[in-house]
Amino acid sequence: MTIVHPKVTIIAEAGPIIIGENNLIEEQTSIINRLPQGTTTPSATPVLIIGANNVFEVDSYSEAMKIGDNNVLESKEMLNSRTGCIIGAGCRVVCPETVSENTIIYGDTRLRRKQADRPPVRTLKHIGL
């Protein structure tokens, strides 16, 4: 039940990419499992794992090795770290970190706040399927 729109780029350069159920991956999204810079061969095959019920909005970009469940990656977002949260439009998270669950990253200066409740699960019912 995952939907992958046209013009999505999924590149498994360093190893496999596992995509869970009920994800929505919109146009011009890039999901890349890339070798770290300066590495020619990994010591083990890195597996990029995407959980369930995530939304990758138009033109989002992710090289995160693990994305949990119920995340929203908004338009023009760039993600290179682990996450379990909402990444706002135009925000870039490029340092090697694990973003704690229920975190919202937003604004030009990438402000962060903790959401009191978990984000609602976005299912395919929300888009009429």
Percentage of residues in the chain having pLDDT higher than 90? 26
Predicted local confidence at residue 38, as pLDDT: 73
46-67 pLDDT per residue, tens = 899 999 988 898 988 888 888 8
Q: Which pair of tokens denotes residue 87?
A: 């990444």
81-91 pLDDT per residue, tens = 444 455 655 55
pTM of the model as a whole: 0.67
DSSP for the chain, written as a single string: --EE-TT-EEEESSS-EEE-SS-EE-TT-EEEE-PPTT-SS-SS---EEE-SS-EE-TT-EE--SEE-SS-EE-TT-EE-SBBSSEE-TT-EE-SS-BPPTTEEEETTTTEEEE-SSPPPPP-GGGGT-
Average pLDDT, the chain: 75
22-50 pLDDT per residue, tens = 999 999 999 999 877 777 776 778 899 99
In the chain the domains, ranked by start, together with CATH numbers, are: 3-121 (2.160.10.10)
pLDDT at 4 over 70: yes
Predicted local confidence at residue 65, as pLDDT: 83
